[in-house]
């Protein structure tokens, strides 16, 4: 198997799976009915992306595991999602800002992955990009409304940016996996993607009258399997059924 | 968050090219842009449409139900307004 490709697919798949799970936690708790449905729709988009990506990962691994086994039966250190997506929902502002910071990264990433020399990845990117464009629009508009809204919503949105900013550096984590796949034109360099991300984030936060925190300490670890304690709680809930009743279907 | 102050919007969806927009329901949103997005999420998630209109419910001026007898009943007795007294020639379809 192509170890690097497998690793990269886990990054893509786990980012989608975990942020999808976080959004799904809002189901029935949305601030208004319409937004509750919107967030559930987005959660389903992400779980759908995770399914396709992990199915492909399972095929690449070729070790008798399927997408479900990858999603539900790995241990914490085997997950490759960034720390940003596992951060708790806290309130609506934190959830939307987290979503926005992630969507602003995912859109240029998928745009670039559409040109992957790996046809399967290119197809996944093309399909997911349509969903991602909508997610980014939705989360950007909310960040602007919250930031440029009432005093209270501004304060909460600024708190969200201040809290989550330290996790944004990791979105652009690269190591030998990327180098190997980039040499075969399977994946893009994250440097231009970071520029694009920076542009989107700067423009939206300016319109939202929110302040970008001055560069301070940056947290990372998710890409190499070193997660925050939050992932443990997520997995406990996500994996409970399959751990308690192995092979259970419904 | 309270939606008490958010205006109500009427949602119209066009199911496919060539058909007209049809009223499908209403929702709450802070502004027109949010109304379109909410309508997309609430009313088109099962591929119901390809185009959305939203109109603030306040802007819809409706006929007064208490005037129904003077507005609509007079038409009931005027069956000749329905073109049902003509023989449609054979070979004319879609009538």
pLDDT 10s digits, A191-214: 999 999 999 999 999 999 999 998
Euclidean distance between CA atoms A12 and A210, whole angstroms:
29
* Residue from A218, A215, A84, A94 nearest A146 by CA: A94
- Full domain range(s) for residue A115: 3-244
| Mean pLDDT for the stretch of residues A49-69 | 96
Say whether residue B29 is in contact with chain A using an 8 A CB cutoff. yes
In a domain, A8, yes or no: yes
Per the CB < 8 Å rule, is A34 touching B42? yes
* C-beta of residue A119 within 8 angstroms of C-beta of residue A59: no
pLDDT for B79: 81
CA distance B41 to chain A (A): 5
C-alpha dihedral, A15 to A21 to A25 to A27, nearest 10°: 110
| Mean pLDDT for the stretch of residues B51-65 | 94
Which is higher by pLDDT, A110 or B5?
Answer: A110
* C-beta of residue A224 within 8 angstroms of C-beta of residue A217: no
Q: What's the start-to-end Cα distance of chain B, in Å? A: 53
* C-beta of residue B81 within 8 angstroms of C-beta of residue B33: no
Indicate left, alpha or beta for A37 from its phi (over 0: left) and psi (-120 to 50: alpha). Answer: alpha
Per the CB < 8 Å rule, is B37 touching A138? yes
Which is higher by pLDDT, A178 or B76?
Answer: A178
Euclidean distance between CA atoms A212 and A215, whole angstroms:
9
Judged by DSSP in three states, B23 sits in strand
Tokens of A225: 């399997």
Say whether residue A154 is in contact with chain B using an 8 A CB cutoff. no
Looking at residue B14, the DSSP 8-state letter turns out to be E
C-alpha dihedral, B44 to B45 to B48 to B52, nearest 10°: 10
Residue B2 pLDDT class (50, 70, 90 cuts): low
Q: Given a cut of 60, is residue B3 above it in pLDDT?
A: no
In a domain, A145, yes or no: yes
In a domain, A250, yes or no: no
Query: A27, A29, A31, A32: best mutation site toward chain B, by most B Cβ within 10 Å?
Result: A32
In a domain, A249, yes or no: no
pLDDT for B49: 92
Residue A35 pLDDT class (50, 70, 90 cuts): very high
pLDDT for A2: 92
In a domain, A218, yes or no: yes
Q: Which residues does residue B15 pair with via DSSP β-bridges, in sequence order?
A: none
Report the domain count for chain A. Answer: 1
Task: Give the pLDDT confidence of B74-93 residue by residue, as tens digits.
Answer: 888 888 788 777 788 888 87
Euclidean distance between CA atoms A120 and A136, whole angstroms:
24
Which domain CATH number covers A23?
1.20.1260.10
Residue A218: count other Cβ atoms within 10 Å of its Cβ.
11
Task: Give the pLDDT confidence of A12-33 residue by residue, as tens digits.
Answer: 999 999 999 999 999 999 998 9
Per the CB < 8 Å rule, is B37 touching A31? no
Say whether residue B27 is in contact with chain A using an 8 A CB cutoff. yes
Mean pLDDT of chain A: 96
* C-beta of residue A69 within 8 angstroms of C-beta of residue A239: no
pLDDT for B95: 62
pLDDT for A75: 96
Euclidean distance between CA atoms A134 and A145, whole angstroms:
17
| Mean pLDDT for the stretch of residues B65-79 | 86
Residue A113 pLDDT class (50, 70, 90 cuts): very high
Euclidean distance between CA atoms B15 and B51, whole angstroms:
7
Q: What domains are there in chain B, each with its CATH number? A: 8-81 (3.10.20.520)
In a domain, A59, yes or no: yes
Residue tagged 């997520």 (tokens): A234
| Mean pLDDT for the stretch of residues A51-71 | 96
In a domain, A233, yes or no: yes
Residue A115: count other Cβ atoms within 10 Å of its Cβ.
12
Euclidean distance between CA atoms B95 and B89, whole angstroms:
10
pLDDT for B90: 84
């Amino acid at each position: 198997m192509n170890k690097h490709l497998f690793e990269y697919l886990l990054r893509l798949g786990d980012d989608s799976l975990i942020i999808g799970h976080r959004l799904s936690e809002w189901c029935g708790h949305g601030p208004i009915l319409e937004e509750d449905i919107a967030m559930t729709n987005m959660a389903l988009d992400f779980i759908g992306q995770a399914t396709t990506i992990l199915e492909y990962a399972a095929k690449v691994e070729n070790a008798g595991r399927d997408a479900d086994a990858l999603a539900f039966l790995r241990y914490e250190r085997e997950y490759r999602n960034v720390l940003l997506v596992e951060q708790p929902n806290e309130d609506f502002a934190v959830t939307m800002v987290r979503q926005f910071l992630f969507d602003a990264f995912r859109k240029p990433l998928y745009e670039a992955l559409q040109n992957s020399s790996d046809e399967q990845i290119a197809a996944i990117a093309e399909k997911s990009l349509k969903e991602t464009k909508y997610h980014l629009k939705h989360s950007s508009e909310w960040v602007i409304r919250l930031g440029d809204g009432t005093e209270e919503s501004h304060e909460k949105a600024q708190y969200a940016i201040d809290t989550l900013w330290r996790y944004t550096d990791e979105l652009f984590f690269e190591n030998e996996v990327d180098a190997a796949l980039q040499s075969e034109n399977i994946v893009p360099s994250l440097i231009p993607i970071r520029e694009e991300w920076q542009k989107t984030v700067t423009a939206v936060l300016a319109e939202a009258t929110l302040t970008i925190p001055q560069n301070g300490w940056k947290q990372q670890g998710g890409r190499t399997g070193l997660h925050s304690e939050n992932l443990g709680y997520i997995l406990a809930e996500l994996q409970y059924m399959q751990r308690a009743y192995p092979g259970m279907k419904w | 968050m309270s939606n008490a102050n958010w205006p109500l919007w009427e949602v119209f969806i066009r199911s496919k090219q060539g058909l007209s927009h049809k009223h499908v329901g209403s929702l709450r949103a802070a502004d027109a842009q949010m109304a379109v997005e909410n309508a997309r999420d609430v009313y088109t998630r099962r591929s119901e449409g390809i185009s959305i209109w939203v109109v603030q419910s306040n802007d819809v001026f409706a006929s007064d139900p208490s005037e129904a007898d003077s507005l609509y009943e007079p038409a009931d007795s005027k069956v000749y307004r329905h073109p049902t007294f003509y023989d449609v020639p054979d070979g004319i379809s879609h009538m």
